[in-house]
Amino acid sequence: MTEEQKAAYIHAQAVCAQLEMEGMLVANRACEMFSRPHEFGRDDFMKVMEKYVIGHNDVVGFFHD
């Protein structure tokens, strides 16, 4: 995979993670509107980053393989 292809892949993964997290944020806002506890917490958002392998060390490692 070329460096450009790697960058495009990481970008695509980040977009997928962002879309999933936006849905989680909307769900949390809906909970706020109805005075319910948040459905998603910090750990849930971190799991999304892990799912798409876009943490700092993951991305750095991807470019150094």
The answer to whether the beta carbons of residues 50 and 21 sit under 8 Å apart is no
Please name the residue ranges forming H helices in 1-65.
3-33, 42-51, 56-63
Domain definitions of the chain by residue range: 3-63
Cα–Cα distance between 22 and 17 in angstroms, integer? 9
Query: Would you state the pLDDT for residue 65?
Result: 66
Q: Looking at residue 52, what is its pLDDT?
A: 97
What tens digit of pLDDT does each residue of 38-59 get? Answer: 999 999 999 999 999 999 999 9
pLDDT tens figures, 5-39: 999 999 999 999 999 999 999 999 999 999 999 99
Which amino acid is present at 64? H
pLDDT at 29: 98
How many CB atoms neighbour CB 20 within 10 A? 14
